[in-house]
Copies of this chain bind each other. A is one copy, B any other.
Amino acid sequence: MEAVEKLGYRPNPNARALMTGRSGLVGFWMCLQYSRYRSQVLDRMRGLLGQTELAMAVTDIDEEYHWDHSFNRSLRVPVEGIIAFDASDSIQALGQVYDRLAPNTPFVSMGIYWSNAKSYVGVDLRAGADEAMDHLLSTGRRRIAYVVPFNSSLVEEGVRVEAYREKMAAAGFAIDTILTHGVTSAEVGVDLAARLAESPAPDALLCMNDDLALASSVALTKLGVHVGSDIAIVGFDGIQETEDCPCPITTVKQPIDEMCALALRFLKSQMEDPLRPLQQQILKPSLIIRDSSKG
């Protein structure tokens, strides 16, 4: 111990990890595509892991690159367990690919995609989307438009557009999709202004996420349209900013804290007991009704 102190000796983490099989690392897989929601989830998980002895290794799993590349890089980092967050195609490919690649590494997926072959903490965003549509329809909105960036996969796929189309069809109203060429209020403003110039103008916007809802709200206000009375806005995800803005925005709030805490709990229990059976739970998002859709 004197020698340790005198020579400034430090254990080699790699050798220790090789011997013990424990690296102290949890892999966090997410896609590179930025959104404030994803950023908040990342930060939340960072906070939770900050209270433990574990550290977080963040890697991205993106379809942009080849699967092999993404997976290989992700699997090259010595993790004791993996949490995959909103890994869309990842999850689909996972059943086929993952078991070959890291069959013994504890794995939990988290978010709106899941596979029954794996442990997960799912969020039933479809239920939330249905609720949001019911809310808009029951408060008298008829010309509801779905707002989404033109290059998003959510234009045609996903629970949001599915709920939108089915609810509109059931109510007998026409579909109206507004494609934006960006998510800033300036960009969204251009597209909304163009759409509002046509008639009939929409009386409600179902925005693909809160970033877009916030941008739309700011853009509409600048266009002289009164959010909440002239037009309703609903977003998805429930980020803090929707509450803390001039006109609080109705949103389908994902249970960030509970989702993260539960996913980490599942993962830790699997890390302690690798033979533990799958743990699967679905959480419900909650529709938070605020001024943007009350009027």
Show the binding face of A for B, using Cβ within 8 Å: 8, 10, 12-18, 21, 23-25, 32, 34, 39-40, 42-43, 46-47, 50, 53, 55-60, 62, 73-79, 99-103, 184-186, 214-215, 218, 221-222, 240-241, 243-246
Report how many copies the assembly holds. Answer: 2
Shortest 4 CB-CB distances between A and B: which pairs?
A13-B78, A14-B18, A14-B17, A50-B60
Closest chain B residue, CB of each to CB of A58: B56
Closest chain B residue, CB of each to CB of A79: B13
Q: Closest approach, in angstroms, between the C-beta of A78 and any C-beta of chain B?
A: 4
Do B221 and A78 touch (CB < 8 A)? no
Q: Within the assembled complex, what's the spacing in Å between the Cα atoms of A8 and B60? A: 23
Q: Within the assembled complex, what's the spacing in Å between the Cα atoms of A10 and B99? A: 11
The CB with the most chain B CB atoms within 10 A, among A16, A18, A34, A75, is that of A18
Q: Within the assembled complex, what's the spacing in Å between the Cα atoms of A99 and B14? A: 19
Do A46 and B58 touch (CB < 8 A)? yes
Q: Within the assembled complex, what's the spacing in Å between the Cα atoms of A34 and B246? A: 22
Do A39 and B50 touch (CB < 8 A)? no
Q: Within the assembled complex, what's the spacing in Å between the Cα atoms of A221 and B73? A: 48
What residues on B are CB-neighbors of A55 within 8 Å? 57-59, 73-74, 76-77
Q: Closest approach, in angstroms, between the C-beta of A274 and any C-beta of chain B?
A: 16
Q: Within the assembled complex, what's the spacing in Å between the Cα atoms of A269 and B94? A: 35
Contact of A78 among B17, B53, B184, B243 (CB under 8 A): B17
Closest chain B residue, CB of each to CB of A38: B43
Decide: A244 near B18, CB < 8 A? Known: A43-B42, A50-B32, A77-B25.
Answer: no
Do A244 and B184 touch (CB < 8 A)? yes
Decide: A77 near B18, CB < 8 A? Known: A32-B46, A50-B62, A55-B57.
Answer: no
Do B23 and A78 touch (CB < 8 A)? yes
What residues on B are CB-neighbors of A78 within 8 Å? 13-14, 17, 23, 78
| A–B Cβ pairs within 8 angstroms, 27 of them | A8-B103, A10-B75, A12-B18, A13-B77, A14-B14, A14-B18, A14-B21, A17-B17, A23-B77, A23-B78, A25-B77, A32-B50, A34-B47, A39-B42, A39-B43, A42-B42, A42-B46, A46-B58, A46-B60, A50-B62, A55-B76, A57-B77, A185-B244, A186-B244, A214-B244, A218-B245, A241-B241
